[in-house]
Structure 1
């Protein structure tokens, strides 16, 4: 049920006493973990907390990279997806589009693109890893283009480093086929 479909409900809710509205609001917030975290961030945290969140994510990534290099491509794909999901959660909580792009570029730059071959299914998982990695790069580049020019300029060196890494690896042919630029 959407609130927009029930105009009378919206009117009645706005007319509720403050105490009752607060009670209902708190019950609703408790049902959504991301909303609770977003409100905590918005109401109780400041710019330094945002930087701390970014640094914590970077630290977690740095701690996972050495382990990532020892994994098969299938295991690495699962870990990389989890890292990107963590950045997506960061964005849902903070609504920091610049931080989201910055963190994804950071992760994509750190992730090795060559993995041990597993006994079974390397070709399939190698293809899945390459596809996921390049699609994530493309999505991140598109998001970076929507940022203010100054932020695009600030991120351009890291983006070009990422693109250089891709075009000097086994992913170059797939990157060319998916029309990834060689530089921004």
Structure 2
């Protein structure tokens, strides 16, 4: 049931006394953790808090990648798991802050530092993880590219070198075929 489809319900909610509306609103907000965190950020935090969240997430990404690199038998499977986890953290950051610039910078950082080159295995189960990692990586870069195109041209210019470095990483790891299929350019 969507509120826009029920004009009479919308009118009845608007007609509620202020105290009742506040109580209902607080009950609804309490049921959604992301919404609660978003409202906290929007109403009680400022630009310095955004910077703090950004730096904390950069540190978390770097710590996870360092831990991944220290694993003796790290492979495509472990890299894929870490990448998905960190992508989820960046998604959460965006849902809370609604700041496209820091989301793009965080994702650029993640995609730049995540290892994606592992030796090809003859075992079918290991090879499928390398294929999954490659596909997930390129599709994530493509999603980032679409968001990059929506940025103001000055911001695009500032991030161009980092993005080209990411596109070079795709070429360096022989992922151009997947990149062409999804529509990524070779260079910006």
Q: Against the structure 1 CA distance between its residues 178 and 23, is the aligned structure 2 distance closer, same or farther, given a 3 Å change threshold?
A: closer
Q: Against the structure 1 CA distance between its residues 11 and 171, is the aligned structure 2 distance closer, same or farther, given a 3 Å change threshold?
A: same
User: RMSD of the TM alignment (CA)?
Assistant: 1.6
| Distance in structure 1 (CA, Å) of the matches to 2:68 and 2:184 | 25
SS at match of 1:121: helix
TM-score norm. by structure 1 comes to 0.93
Moved over 6 A (4+): none
Which position in structure 1 is the counterpart of 2:47? 47
Q: Is the 8 A contact 2:104 2:144 kept in 1?
A: yes
Farther-moved stretch of structure 1 (86-95 vs 70-79)? 70-79
Farther-moved stretch of structure 1 (65-74 vs 116-125)? 116-125
In the TM superposition, residue 116 of structure 1 has moved relative to its aligned partner by: 6.0
Counterpart check, 1:163 vs 2:162: no
| Distance in structure 2 (CA, Å) of the matches to 1:171 and 1:111 | 15
Farther-moved stretch of structure 1 (136-145 vs 5-14)? 5-14
Q: Deviations over 1:57-105 (max 9, x none)?
A: 1000111112223322112211100101111111111111111111111
Counterpart check, 1:107 vs 2:149: no
Which position in structure 1 is the counterpart of 2:100? 97
The alignment covers a number of residue pairs equal to: 184
For structure 2, the 5+ residue unaligned runs are none
SS at match of 1:181: coil
After TM superposition, the structure 1 = structure 2 runs for residues 65-144 of structure 1, keeping only pairs within 5 Å, are 65-69=65-69, 70=71, 71-115=74-118, 121-144=125-148
| Distance in structure 1 (CA, Å) of the matches to 2:82 and 2:66 | 12
Q: Is the 8 A contact 2:29 2:36 kept in 1?
A: yes
Q: Is the 8 A contact 1:38 1:93 kept in 2?
A: yes
